[in-house]
Amino acid sequence: MPETIGFLKPRQAVLDRRGEIIADLADLLPEGCLISDERGLKPFETDAFLAYRRLPLAVVLPETTEQVAAVLKYCSRYGIPVVPRGAGTSLSGGAIPQEDAIVVGLSKMSRILDVDLFNRTATVQAGVTNLYISEAVGADGFFYAPDPSSQLACTIGGNIGMNSGGAHCLKYGVTTNNLLGVKMVLFDGTVIELGGKALDAPGYDLLGLVCGSEGQLGIVTEATVRLIAKPEGARPVLFGFAASEAAGSCVADIIGSGIIPVAIEFMDKPAIEICEAFAHAGYPLDVEALLIVEVEGSEAEMEAMLQGIIEIARRHGVVTIKESQSALEAALIWKGRKSAFGATGRVADYICMDGTVPLSQLSHVLRRTGEIVASYGLRVANVFHAGDGNMHPLILYNINDPADAARAEAAGNDILKLCVDAGGCLTGEHGVGIEKRDLMHHQYNKADLDQQMAVRAAFDPQWLLNPSKVFPLEGRPQA
């Protein structure tokens, strides 16, 4: 397909020194930590934003923080761009490399270093997967709260890079609210530690700044995260509606009533059909929209909360209410929801939007999204975190038809502008990456963006860390 999103032009001086650079990197790293042949580089050319790909100059897979530091020190000395990578599950192209870049993959740093149940913390290497943390402490009655749909694969380092969320952050917050500390390597190879096992740290909240910085401020190699005691029980309940708008306004009323469930997920009819065909979760197929509302606590607490929610849902004309009757049913309900993107991939190519809007705008934005996508002659499936207004329209298209792909991208841009104009933002949890980079002007004016870029330059004055991402390519301050 024709590429509408540009990358920085590769630095010829770097490309010319390719052989030398690879030899130098080989000296810095143990055997088996460097990939430079085309076949080996191929898996690293893109992430989950599949429409764009670039073969990097080389991939390094360090085993220690010191090795990461040695590579960054080298790259900073010779002006070589660096693209950090966790599991490569970014939906916004955050991990897509460029021809003159070294990919620093953290996959070999995948150990849990310390579990401290007294202080309810876990300290892990950046390549540990999200779900692995919860699995490691589950038997002791704890879990790590942020749960992106890709949690089986995605790494904690990548979660920090994107400040990832998930279905349950309505109650527990996103990555930044659950992160206590990091060890990270700055671009010149300096290793610093921010935060730790205490709840706050002295000085500026650099930890808060690093979280969600998309690999532009340094490379996180270790993280200390908060653990939370698992609730006694949790129960997802399905609420089916005859119209999307009714489901949307029901969400706003639930939140407005002062009841805050753990999760409120929304699916429209196309999404229900796709997910049900994949997961056989028992989703009702005769409704236009479905809410998955999860409550947790003791039996009596869940019952009390559900009564309140059911009352509100009735006011909005709910047509089906289905409580999960067993742990297996509950697991299937979540399996269907969490595999929504993968299941959609079985029926069509798609791009996934991630704008967040104020709850009062939910119904309006849903309706307009449908109109926008239809105006481009395309189809859309909506499956998203309704409780916090984080929308995920999946625009279905055919990746092998260039015109179709261009229309999908244009529709996506229109939807994101709609979200911003409704008082929301371009991205709630997937990050800007390359995907939304050129829309940043729509959300921020020049002074806003200049201030962000000045902060970025304070960390990486040469603009070598993940340089094609987040900020529009024009107007960047010169080192």
Out of 194, 274, 352, 380, the only residue in the binding site for other proteins (CB under 8 A) is 194
Query: Rule CB under 8 A: which of 125-184 touch other proteins?
Result: 140-142, 162-163, 165, 169-170, 173-174, 176-177
Query: Beta strand pairing status for 58-60 and 102-105?
Result: parallel
Question: Residue 472: enclosing H or E segment and its boundaries?
Answer: none
Residue 352: φ, ψ to 5°? -110, 120
Instruction: Indicate whether 205 belongs to the interface with other proteins (CB under 8 A).
Output: yes
Out of 369, 390, 413, 468, the only residue in the binding site for other proteins (CB under 8 A) is 390
Query: Rule CB under 8 A: which of 279-318 touch other proteins?
Result: 297-298, 300-301, 304-305
Residue 464: φ, ψ to 5°? -110, -15
Out of 9, 423, 475, 479, the only residue in the binding site for other proteins (CB under 8 A) is 423
Length of the chain counted residue by residue: 479
**Contacts of residue 117, Cβ cutoff 8 Å, sequence gap at least 6:** 137, 140, 142, 227
Out of 41, 186, 271, 281, the only residue in the binding site for other proteins (CB under 8 A) is 186
Burial of 132 (0-12, 13-18, 19+ CB in 10 A): buried
Out of 13, 15, 23, 117, the only residue in the binding site for other proteins (CB under 8 A) is 117
Locus of tokens 């002006």: 79
Out of 58, 69, 156, 211, the only residue in the binding site for other proteins (CB under 8 A) is 211
The residue (of 1 and 228) whose beta carbon lies closer to other proteins is 228
Q: Which region among 32-40, 271-279, 332-340, 430-438 touches other proteins (by CB under 8 A)? A: 430-438
Least distance CB 231 / other proteins (angstroms): 5
Euclidean distance between CA atoms 121 and 124, whole angstroms: 10
DSSP letters of 364-390?
Answer: HHHHHHHHHHHHTT-EEEEEEEGGGTB
Out of 144, 428, 467, 468, the only residue in the binding site for other proteins (CB under 8 A) is 428
Euclidean distance between CA atoms 377 and 392, whole angstroms: 19
Instruction: Indicate whether 193 belongs to the interface with other proteins (CB under 8 A).
Output: yes
3-state secondary structure of 109: coil
Instruction: Indicate whether 78 belongs to the interface with other proteins (CB under 8 A).
Output: no
Least distance CB 89 / other proteins (angstroms): 15
The residue (of 54 and 436) whose beta carbon lies closer to other proteins is 436
Facing residues of 322 across strands? 238
Out of 402, 454, 475, 479, the only residue in the binding site for other proteins (CB under 8 A) is 454
